[in-house]
Structure 1
Amino acid sequence: MKKKSLLFLFFVLCVFSVSAVLFSQPLFNDNLTAEERQKLADGEILIRNIGKAKNISLNPVTPQAAELIERVKKLKPAYLAEVIQIRPLSGNENLIQNIKPLLLDIEGYVGIPYWSERAQDWFDLYSSASIVKNDVTETGSTLNVDLYMLPFGDLNVDIVLSDTDDGVFYSMINTGNVKYENITVVRPEKMQSFVYAFKYNDFIVLYGIGGVNAPSVFFLRDRIELSFINRIKTFCKFIFEKLE
């Protein structure tokens, strides 16, 4: 009985510690609801379909966080989603190093399971993925990658993963037009996603965000939003869960 009480006390203290960071520190702004903050305090993966850059919850608590926020604002996305999780640093000391090979496993992107709401079936996140060019330095990697993503077809992207003072910063940006049935729906550099894993006080913050600056054409809007935003959510959630 005493052991159960101690375990419960430890759980309460962990939840209280995360809650203290969420509420008293400037990590997140008021765009998070009380329910969303509680999910983060409970260690859950929080997924937010936020639409516009003004709804970003992350504050510019580090230079990289500030850069990420500014890049998303500059993108002016019509569709935007956040994926967030907070973990205690204790027991997760190697997490930041462990996330790097997951983000750079380009061929592994094909095997990520993706649920299509439109088709009501499971597919691979990408039908194919291959590295065109890979430049590795002491501070990170820069890759050019060919992907095939239904229903939009071929997609070429630049991926940059860099080490920071407190973590790892990842970006993926399309280099060419993205088309749907021969209609250009996304111009170059208008589809961007980021993953920032960093230490903050006694915690590891896993923060993913992705958006698309695409025309809001009424007969394409739902298809574009579902296909792009759900893939961003799927990718980030998959990577975070692989760190279990």
Structure 2
Amino acid sequence: MNPTVARLTVRGLLGRRRGILLLVVPAVLLVISVIARAVSGTPDLLPAPVLGHLGVGTLLPILALVVGTGVIATEIEDGSIVYLLAKPLPRPQIITTKLAVAVVTTSLLAAVPTYLAGLVLVGTRDGVAAGYAVAALVSGATYSALFLLLGVVTRHAVVAGLGYALVWESLVGNFVPGARTLSIQQWGLSVGRSVAAEGAIAADVSLTVAVSLLVVVAVAATALAAVRLGGLTLAGEE
């Protein structure tokens, strides 16, 4: 973790119009939760569609995409990454620092609003709010690592990430049972299910498999991003 890199990353991430966009996503979830609770006569049925499908399944990957690519992709596109790579900093340290910023930002803007939305919908009943918040937390960390990798390997990271988030996670991950085993959303929900009361949160992946896949994907994506960043340096020197 490098404090200087972290400070510059936060400034670049939150100091532009992207910062406003990041606030829109949690605001949408909270507003929809308030409206749903006000008009619904059966609040017990709200968490799955609002917190699960909409929150963890759709809004979270979009938020993580904006954050994960934003911590590095913009620097690569405008060439300012050269100034950072010119410093005597290990490439893994640069990547892990940027990932830490992405994870913390995603957690604050996803897990916290998810918990608040859960309180609005059902209060503290059955640990539903806490369960979905934990799901958002662990899923957001893995999404951040994956989208950070996309930001390093391609100049079309946002397009590729949107395709993944909207098609695979939001559509396939929600509605195609056989594909849910390979869904970060489902892995996170499995962890959240272990926090809530039995039957309060549905997930199609066992806890052991979910935790293993979350860790493997996050670590592999981080390692590949560090390797790729080192390759960018070599290309610049040639």
TM-score for the superposition, normalised by structure 1: 0.28
> Quick one: higher RCO (CA 8 Å, sep 6+), 1 or 2?
2
TM-score for the superposition, normalised by structure 2: 0.28
The structure richer in helix per residue is 2
